[in-house]
A and B are shown apart, each in its own frame.
Chain A
Amino acid sequence: MPHVMISSKKCTGCHQCELACSAYHENGFRPSVARLWAEVNPTTGAIKGHTCLQTGCSKCQEACPQDAIVTREITVKVKGDFPGREKLGDTVTGYVLVVDEEKCTNCGECYDVCPTDVIHEHPDKEVAFKCDLCGGEPQCIAFCQNPYVLAVDLKVDKMDKEPVPA
């Protein structure tokens, strides 16, 4: 299923993905509330990407006692050039996990189980926030569509779990 990955080898640590992500979701540039992040060790130069694997993981959904993490159908169309395009074509359809803010009680069960540390409590409203692939046009990839770097990419994994459409 479609999800975003950061190549730790290619990533230069510019954080444009976090900036674009937050501008799209938070009405301004606020990388501390981005849905993905590049962890950069300034001394060694090592980089670890943190992104949501969506339905390929689903641990947040399984942990949620309120059924507030819902599976939605999505068509992903990525702006610009990216390495996955050759294999995936111009659009990819699949499923994405999104937070139903009506149901979410901010209980924190999902925060503890996320293996990539990308679902958190929103600092301004008492609900969880996570990657929703920008509704189909991921801004993180658009702003890493840098032909020099191309570190943030769309990947599609085979499903190992049956999707549960909302």
Chain B
Amino acid sequence: MDFYQGRVLRIDLSKGTTAVEPLNMEWAQLYVGGKGLLLRYLWDEVPPKLDPWSPDAPIILMTGPFAGTTVTTASRLVVGAKSPVTGILNDSYVGGSFAPELKFAGYDAVIIKGKAAKPTVVTIKDDVVAFVPADNYWGMMTSAVEAALRADFDANAKVLSIGPAGEKKVPWACLSTDQYHKAGRAGHGALMGDKNLKAIAVRGTGTVSVGDPKAFLELLYKIHTDYVLTDDNLWAHEEGTPVLVDVVNGGGAIPTRNWSAGQFEGADKINSEAFQKIRIKKRACFQCSISCRNFHETTFAGETVRGEGPEYETIALCGANCGIDDIGALMKFNELCDELGLDTMSSGSVTALAMDLTEKGIHDFGLHFGEAESYVQVPALVASREGIGAELALGARALAAKYGHPELAMQVKNLEIPGYDPRGSFGSAISYATSDRGGCHMRAFPPGDELAAGTMPADTMEGKVEQVIAGDSANGFIGQNFSSIKFSGIWCDFWAVTPEQIALMLAPLFGHEFSEAEVMTIGERIWNLARLFNLREGVEKDDLPKKLYASEGAFSEGPSAGKAVGEVVFRESLAKYKTLRGWDENGVPSEAKLAELGVDVRL
């Protein structure tokens, strides 16, 4: 079979059994791979209304059809489950080299169910799948377990693991691979910990076929030259995501001291320029020609801190939002989160909230904005649930509610929101509220136009709802339909691939030509499937913390001073969103819409 391996590996941790079954190619035709195909499998594999902590709850690892080829950036893995944090879809993406290795081992996807009686590691070497007792690995940091499995199992193994935080089921425990790459958000690490699964190690020595490989190399050489290695994508290599610090700070949209300001006075100590001074090297994910990753080295408290990152979200949420401008402390916090297996975005949000509760005199967590010494203790306390970590591990919403101040938790559907304040990026109000996994910036990205390119004013809703739904890289910031097909390839966010270019790559995949409209239809089909899944599982109403949109929440100073979406416009925009989507007032897609899109399931 070309591109796909046509094989799904099932792992039952309760029974200690494995099985291989054919990939459902009818679904692949409809939903491509990655996000789309993951969702279709989740629809069938998650019994409706299942408790996310049930041993029957699956974790699914899904590759894209282009993983393991020269299609640049398409090495991403999507991990899917019903989130124990949000109760809805969690599709979390990670780069590195795990997905291609899984393909070379002969699998498009892995469906993990059950719960191991004791800590376990699963090893996969081509056709040989084994359950290994993980007593020696349990408790290890993510870098240590990777190194141990390379030594014990296979020198070329790629490892997807949890750290101590996942073992303790911290709600924002993440999955880690190639040490610095994380499937970060909404609790996959906690689910894997609950299943007693410390890690999956894979080594593949097989082939990903593409029909005529020489013709495919010719096509890809042209695509790389014309569309990848261009000035448009150069920022990702030259600077990477830290470039956003000045952009977002300049627009008054960088979360500062638990979202109490939109501009951080210490930003120039943690911006791209500051990181370039401590940069050692550029690094790439497997099969990526862009290489956005930055390897840094600096010192904190007299000790060397060395490693990849931090990325923009970490700088914003663990830096500015905690009032931290000490680049060494920020690097240290990032390193500890990586090693312990914690999502930095939620770590930063919850830490900032605890600082805020302390400084407002509501409860003393011993944490203060800008105070590095106590700040760097937080990740280990959270991962072990010791001391203040026991309370912080509740997550922002439950922690703020416990102390009677729910308005201080910046979250949507219980997922802490990313580093773009809607007061300085109006489009983000709608993109966060309507994202299919709660507070997320990866489904539509208004800051791309509002702040980075400056091609759309940030302080108006005009045109934003339409763009959040249907935008694409050839036409302003990316929207939800486009990101749905893009994340099914799975192409990375940092290649500004267009629908036309995606059509060029889908043609050899499916053996016929695609129009741009057809590409966008697949995306809309996938987004509607996500909506059906979320409705079935009982999704919360689309909303946003009030201070981020209501006029009384506006800043009194800074570049975004006095700006607010406004309550009326916010509600109107949410209504307009549903109308444009062909959904009713409860957000239920109409039969006509589902039929038009070819969605093959119904509520």
Contacts and interface: CB of A to CB of B under 8 A. Distances in A.
Interface string A1-34: 0000000000011111001101110111111110
Contacts of A20: 70, 217
A165 interface: no
From A29, A147, A149, name the one whose CB has the most chain B CB atoms within 10 angstroms. Answer: A29
Nearest to B308: A45
Contact of B70 (A27, A80, A123, A143): A143
A79 interface: yes
A27 B290 CA distance: 26
Given A28-B208, A30-B206, A148 B221 contact: no
B291 A148 contact: yes
Nearest to B291: A12
Contact of A29 (B97, B207, B283, B284): B207
Contact of B282 (A12, A29, A79, A123): A12
A23 B104 contact: no
B49 to A, nearest CB: 40
A12 B213 contact: no
Given A13-B284, A23-B213, A148-B291, A43 B70 contact: no
B422 interface: no
A13 B208 CA distance: 20
A58 interface: no
A42 B178 contact: yes
Contact of B205 (A19, A29, A123, A142): A123
A24 B289 contact: no
A28 B210 contact: yes
Contacts of A31: 104
Size class of the contact patch on chain A: 20 to 34
B210 A148 contact: no
B229 A148 contact: yes
Interface string A45-72: 1000000000000000000000000000
Interface residues of B, number: 47
Contacts of B216: 23
Nearest to A25: B213
A139 interface: yes
B71 to A, nearest CB: 9
Given A42-B146, A43-B147, A16 B287 contact: yes
Nearest to B178: A42
A14 B221 contact: no
Interface in B277-325: 280-291, 293, 295, 308
B214 A24 contact: yes
A146 interface: yes
Counting chain B CB atoms within 10 Å of each CB, the highest count among A23, A27, A145 belongs to A23
Contact of B288 (A14, A28, A29): A14
A15 B147 contact: no
B224 A147 contact: no
B36 interface: no
A29 B225 contact: no
Given A24-B213, A29-B69, A14 B207 contact: no
Contact of B221 (A28, A123, A143): A143
Interface of B: 68-70, 72, 97, 104, 143, 146-147, 156, 178-180, 204-210, 213-214, 216-217, 220-221, 224-225, 229, 234, 237-238, 280-291, 293, 295, 308
Given A42-B178, A146-B229, A148-B229, 19 more contacts: A16-B288, A22-B207, A23-B213, A23-B216, A24-B213, A27-B213, A28-B210, A30-B205, A31-B104, A33-B205, A42-B179, A43-B143, A43-B147, A43-B179, A45-B280, A45-B281, A142-B221, A148-B234, A148-B291
Given A28-B208, A42-B178, A14 B286 contact: yes
A19 B213 CA distance: 11
A45 B283 contact: yes
Contacts of A14: 284-289, 291
Contact of A147 (B104, B213, B229, B285): B229
20 contacts: A12-B284, A14-B284, A14-B285, A16-B287, A23-B70, A23-B216, A24-B213, A26-B207, A27-B207, A27-B209, A30-B205, A31-B104, A32-B206, A142-B217, A142-B221, A143-B70, A143-B220, A143-B224, A148-B229, A149-B282
A12 B283 contact: yes
Closest 10 pairs (CB-CB, A-B): A14-B284, A28-B207, A12-B284, A12-B291, A23-B213, A32-B205, A30-B207, A28-B209, A29-B208, A148-B237
Contacts of B221: 79-80, 142-143
A66 B238 CA distance: 50
Contacts of A16: 70, 72, 287-289
A22 B100 CA distance: 14
B225 A80 contact: yes
B415 to A, nearest CB: 28
B288 to A, nearest CB: 5
Contacts of A24: 213-214, 217
A27 B39 CA distance: 32
Contact of B217 (A13, A26, A30, A139): A139
B204 A28 contact: no
B148 to A, nearest CB: 12
B281 A32 contact: no
Contacts of B213: 23-24, 26-29
A139 B284 CA distance: 19
B496 to A, nearest CB: 15
Contacts of B207: 22, 26-30
A123 B179 CA distance: 30
A166 to B, nearest CB: 25
B287 A32 contact: no
A30 B100 CA distance: 10
A135 to B, nearest CB: 12
A149 B237 CA distance: 9
A28 B205 CA distance: 12
A14 B220 CA distance: 15
B245 to A, nearest CB: 21
Nearest to A80: B225
A32 B220 CA distance: 21
